[in-house]
């Protein structure tokens, strides 16, 4: 079925797909045209992304292809599910200068012609883990059916190439899961032993990160330093009073002489 749909495409559309295929190969991304999003049982399965890619960091890019003004004005929904989303148009369509914001959301970029020139940069979107898993499954399924269609068409060379892509995709997903498991293990391991070694049962990496973020903001402004309190300079970390010199003046050094806190301004 999908094979017949591909044959019905205009040459301009096929040329854009070929250009995206070449780009995904150069960038070593996993790419596939006509990716059906999700499954019927989860309320999806009726939307198709014209072209989708995923890189080794599981960053998804969705491309919607339009070659004529009538294509652009069609009622067919544009499916922008990726971290980055693009409208890819022919040079002829771009020269007609339609009001793009009437057709695409403000975070979507615009790419033109087979040279894939970026006319408007896409803004990164954060997608949930559930949405990311759906996109991974959708891309894997579409690559599989593309492989089956080529096999049915007796195109053995294309079949072997797609089979290789499918294997690479599966290996990439397994490797990604291993990285996530290792990161999660390290996260819990660090929290556990920090609580144990410092006898701080309430310690958490999340709270520690908030403290570091706040300190960085203060350091950038030069405000994470000795604090004047009741006429005396004290360390913002341990609260000890700064050491005095022979003239009874506070020695405001870069490091606290009591707790060793770094009180320098960030460069």
- Quote the pLDDT of residue 153: 56
**pLDDT digit string (tens) for 101-116?**
999 999 999 999 999 9
**pLDDT digit string (tens) for 56-77?**
899 999 999 999 998 888 867 7
**pLDDT digit string (tens) for 75-104?**
677 889 999 999 999 999 999 988 999 999
Query: Domains in the chain, ordered, with CATH?
Result: 2-126 (3.40.1350), 219-267 (no CATH)
What is the C-alpha separation between 83 and 127, in angstroms, rounded? 7
Q: Is the predicted pLDDT of residue 237 greater than 60, yes or no?
A: yes
Using alpha carbons only, what angle is made at residue 146 by residues 142 and 147, rounded to the nearest 5 degrees? 120
Q: Is the predicted pLDDT of residue 133 greater than 70, yes or no?
A: yes
**pLDDT digit string (tens) for 184-228?**
899 899 999 999 999 999 999 999 899 889 989 988 888 899 999
45 vs 160, higher pLDDT: 160
Tokens of 153: 């068409």
How would you class 141 by CB atoms within 10 Å of its CB: exposed for 0-12, middle for 13-18, buried for 19 or more? middle
- Quote the pLDDT of residue 148: 66
- The mean per-residue pLDDT over the stretch 163-191 comes to 88
- Helices 129-152 and 156-198 cross at an angle (nearest 10°) of 160
- Quote the pLDDT of residue 150: 60
How would you class 29 by CB atoms within 10 Å of its CB: exposed for 0-12, middle for 13-18, buried for 19 or more? middle
- Quote the pLDDT of residue 254: 92
Whether this prediction's pTM lies above 0.75 is answered by: no
Q: Is the predicted pLDDT of residue 149 greater than 80, yes or no?
A: no
Q: Is the predicted pLDDT of residue 163 greater than 70, yes or no?
A: yes
Q: Is the predicted pLDDT of residue 147 greater than 80, yes or no?
A: no
């Amino acid at each position: 079925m999908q094979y017949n749909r591909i044959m019905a495409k205009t040459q301009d559309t096929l040329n854009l797909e070929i250009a995206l295929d070449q780009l995904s190969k150069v960038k070593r991304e996993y790419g596939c045209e006509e990716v059906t999003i999700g499954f019927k049982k989860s309320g999806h399965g009726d939307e198709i992304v014209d072209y989708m890619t995923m890189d080794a960091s599981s960053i998804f890019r969705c491309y919607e292809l339009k070659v004529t003004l009538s294509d652009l004005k069609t009622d067919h929904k544009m499916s922008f599910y990726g971290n980055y989303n693009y409208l890819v148009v022919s040079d002829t369509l771009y020269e007609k200068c339609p009001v793009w914001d009437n057709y695409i959301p403000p975070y979507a970029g615009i790419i033109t012609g087979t040279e894939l020139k970026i006319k408007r940069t896409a803004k990164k979107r954060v997608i949930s883990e559930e949405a990311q898993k759906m996109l991974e499954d959708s891309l894997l399924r579409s690559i599989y059916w593309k492989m089956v269609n080529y096999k049915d068409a007796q195109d053995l060379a294309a079949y072997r190439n797609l089979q290789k892509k499918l294997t690479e995709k599966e290996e990439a997903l397994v490797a990604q899961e291993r990285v996530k498991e290792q990161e999660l293990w390290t996260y819990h391991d660090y929290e556990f032993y920090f609580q144990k070694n410092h006898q701080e049962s309430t310690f958490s990496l999340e709270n520690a990160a908030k403290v570091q973020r706040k300190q960085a903001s203060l350091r950038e402004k030069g405000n994470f330093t000795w604090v004047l309190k009741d006429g005396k300079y004290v360390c913002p970390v341990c609260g000890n009073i700064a050491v005095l010199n022979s003239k009874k003046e506070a020695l405001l050094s870069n490091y606290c002489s009591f707790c060793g806190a770094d009180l320098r301004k960030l460069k």
